[in-house]
Homo-oligomer: A and B are copies of this chain.
């Protein structure tokens, strides 16, 4: 667990460096301070049973646990031709149902019905597999969330729904998102259990998720888990968080950093030696360095690849008749339009 959390954080820090070097195309999204909720919950799935999760933008950690590689992540962020989506989609928007994570789309809430269907198929086929879908506090307001979770609840699909309550949806605080005091109460609307846990405690997160996963695997249906955490960075790198009350971020950083907390547990309660953690840190660094080097050498996307794979049949869309060949109007390392910080 410590490894995955550290990997998540360090990998994102590396991406920040690359972003500053304008090597990242598009925005950069951080999960700083939320690593425990992503990693702890994903860890509760069974990777040998074919369990599948659907990550959101702050679930890099969950994807890594399921087997996503740092190299893939960096290539994605650099829009490389050999990235998992071959440059079609941004950042961590990619998936692999074999390893057990589905490629998300931007439209919030949509993955809930999709995962209802994924887990419906498990049920229909009598497979003992479980699905897990993440939504933010903000995404609970979408109609798709509502329709998907209700459908799954009625069908008793083997699905766990995790609401990551990190206090904000972009700049919008929870008080403007919903009049509920606790998001776990949303479960009441679907006749399913709703549980709240400390998302910055990786072990608590693991435990509560594991219970829900077991329950799902036993055929007892959907559980909603609210994990309490905090988004210490802006919505994306460009966001200066001016809307956050002074001191709030600091307080979470100092008193409630999930990695610090888990390290303390390891060192103080579980008698792990400091050097073991240092060794993990070193391993993480080395892995990321290596991935970065490889990713930098990756080729750019191939223009005509844009025409491939819209349909199974026809496999390739015909090129526009007036396109003699392939053009590349792109300057190297062009900085893409940062949303909100666009200075074209």
Interface residues, chain A, with chain B CB atoms under 8 Å away: 141-147, 150-151, 153-154, 156, 175-181, 185-186, 188-192, 221
Contacts and interface: CB of A to CB of B under 8 A. Distances in A.
A286 to B, nearest CB: 47
Given A143-B147, A146-B143, A147-B143, A185 B189 contact: yes
A189 B144 CA distance: 15
A307 to B, nearest CB: 34
Contacts of A144: 143
11 contacts: A141-B150, A143-B147, A145-B146, A146-B147, A154-B178, A156-B179, A178-B191, A179-B190, A180-B188, A186-B189, A189-B189
A75 to B, nearest CB: 35
A91 B231 CA distance: 51
Contacts of A150: 141, 178-179
Contacts of A176: 154
B142 A154 contact: no
A216 to B, nearest CB: 14
A144 B179 CA distance: 17
A15 to B, nearest CB: 34
